[in-house]
């Protein structure tokens, strides 16, 4: 009899330990962030800056773009399809979870000109130069 209660207690304890472990895993995955790949280009003729950020498999509504001080901050979350878990995959090379990346904005970038669109798994952000710093072509008379 004593053995049975002992065993039950052990099971209960194991369950509790497992619960803590699961909770810890959840916390860690929420904090851990992936860094998405980015391309930055500048068009000298139009004086525009473009930042492309690769976010394949992310839903548009799970992307946040903010400007804080001199930084452009992009955060996103790539969620696995509801009905699926990691164990359902034979091969899983994609990274799921949180994505985060910050870009420093120099003084000549016009913050108000920001435009963002999501297209083919890529977030495309464009900026214009501050109007009085824009390139000017002067006609020679």
> Which spans of this chain sit near another protein (rule: CB under 8 A)?
37-45, 50, 52, 54-59, 84, 88-94, 118, 120-122
CB of 12 to another protein, least distance (A): 35
Q: How does DSSP assign 94-111, residue by residue?
A: S--EEEEEEEEPPTTEEE
CB of 19 to another protein, least distance (A): 28
Cβ(55)–Cβ(123) below 8 Å? yes
Closer to another protein by CB, 27 or 40: give it: 40
Exposed/middle/buried for residue 127 (C-beta within 10 Å: 0-12, 13-18, 19+): buried
Residue whose entry in the numeric block shows the structure tokens 């359902």: 88
Kindly state the DSSP code that residue 16 receives in the 8-state scheme. H
CB of 63 to another protein, least distance (A): 11
Instruction: Tell me the pairing of strands 63-68 and 71-78.
Output: antiparallel
Closer to another protein by CB, 118 or 130: give it: 118
CB of 22 to another protein, least distance (A): 23
Closer to another protein by CB, 30 or 94: give it: 94
Closer to another protein by CB, 31 or 93: give it: 93
How far is Cα 8 from Cα 59, in angstroms, rounded to an integer? 45
């Amino acid at each position: 009899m004593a053995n049975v209660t002992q065993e039950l207690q052990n099971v209960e304890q194991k369950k509790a330990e497992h619960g803590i472990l699961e909770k810890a895993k959840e916390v860690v995955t929420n904090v851990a962030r992936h860094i998405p790949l980015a391309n930055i280009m500048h068009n000298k003729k139009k004086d525009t800056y473009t930042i492309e950020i690769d976010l394949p498999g992310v839903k548009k509504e799970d992307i946040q773009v903010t400007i804080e001080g001199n930084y452009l901050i992009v955060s996103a979350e790539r969620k696995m399809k509801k009905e699926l878990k990691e164990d359902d995959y034979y091969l899983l090379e994609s990274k799921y979870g949180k994505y985060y990346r910050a870009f420093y904005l120099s003084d000549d970038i016009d913050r108000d000109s920001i435009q963002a669109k999501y297209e083919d798994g890529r977030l495309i952000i464009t900026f214009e130069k501050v109007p009085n710093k824009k390139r000017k072509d002067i006609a020679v008379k």
